[in-house]
Amino acid sequence: MRTVLAGDIGGTKCRFALVSEDFGVHAVRRVPTVRETGPFIDGMARAVREILAEREAVSERSGLDLEAPTALGFGTAGVIPVDGSSVNYAPNLPLEGFPLTQFLREEFHLPVTLINDGRASAWGEYLRGHAASLDPLLCLFFGTGIGIGLIVDGKPYGGGNNAAGEIGHTVYRPGGRRCPCGGIGHFEAYCGGRAMTERALQEIGPCAGASGQPGSERWTVGKLVEVAQMDPGGGPSSGPLVARQILDEAAEAVCALVANCCVLLNPSAIVLGGGVLAGWPGLRGRIVAHVHDNTHEPIRVDLKFVESMGGSDAILWGAAAATGALWTP
């Protein structure tokens, strides 16, 4: 059975695996995203080598006769130039200016394809998920950063310079908060996971885990939700009230962003995903209600909100699809 070695390169963590032509995901490796280029590339390369070394054993255990991969396909945050050589404009990754495609090709002697992770996930959902064959399909992802993937006529839409989808870096509030990219007032400064947790650290202080010791855990969106539900006790500057303010502002921004995308693009279906939604029960329902109440009838009348089937696997499927080695678009 043919395979591609696929990767999901995110701002918090990365995931690599063999993807087989039956959409199976095998020999998964996870690597934390660090901020230094050298250690980050070393961790990525080590994961790929481990998967290549494990293929025969996995094939024997599964009985699937997995062939050696014929290509590498990586879905990554950021903008991939038309020549597919590198990852640019990715403030949550240490890859700016690094010749990633050349490095991987020389290291593993395989053809390499890079694709924006939002686009990859949308393609995976379109090929295999509950959104299969729904077109145009819009996928919005609220994780460390924010991005979208749009499927039109069965293929991911990249725009004139392959830069479409960086919706988190459009302006939400002129003169507002500084975005991790350096811009002012961007959506990502309000509802991106990195911005939310950095604000929690700045305004609440180090996160106290189960031990009650500040700094014993890292801030996550799920932890913010947990703190927001506590008794505020200490007045307007207390942790629970600040957490509620961060979440309220983020929810307003998320809802506005999704509604704006619906009006602009008029999709047939929407898939919502990413770590922010995964850690925040109730946000999805709030988004659906906001879109229903704040878009006109031709936009919402036939619009379907579809549950993600692939989750993180969808990015791997889409990255594998982008290589052209497994499935014909």
pLDDT, residue 264, reads 95
Q: What domains can be seen in the chain, in order of their start residue?
A: 3-124+311-323 (3.30.420.40), 131-308 (3.30.420.40)
Cis preceding linkage at 136, omega within 30: yes
How is 268-294 classified by DSSP, letter by letter? SEEEEESHHHHT-TTHHHHHHHHHHHH
The answer, as to whether pTM is greater than 0.75, is yes
Edge-to-edge strand order for the sheet containing 3-9? 25-32, 13-20, 3-9, 72-76, 112-116
pLDDT band of 99, cuts 50, 70, 90: very high
pLDDT tens, residue by residue, 234-255: 655 678 999 999 999 999 999 9
User: Residues 135-153: what's their mean pLDDT?
Assistant: 93
Percent of the chain whose predicted confidence (pLDDT) is above 70:
95
**Per-residue pLDDT at 328 exceeds 90:** no
Between CA 25 and CA 22 the distance in angstroms is 9
In sequence order, which residues have a C-beta less than 8 Å from that of residue 28 and are 6 or more positions away?
Answer: 15, 16, 17
pLDDT band of 48, cuts 50, 70, 90: very high
pLDDT tens, residue by residue, 2-38: 999 999 998 889 999 999 999 999 999 999 999 999 9
50 or 133, which is more confident: 50
Between CA 269 and CA 77 the distance in angstroms is 23
pLDDT, residue 6, reads 98
312 or 300, which is more confident: 300
pLDDT tens, residue by residue, 204-229: 999 876 555 666 588 999 999 999 99
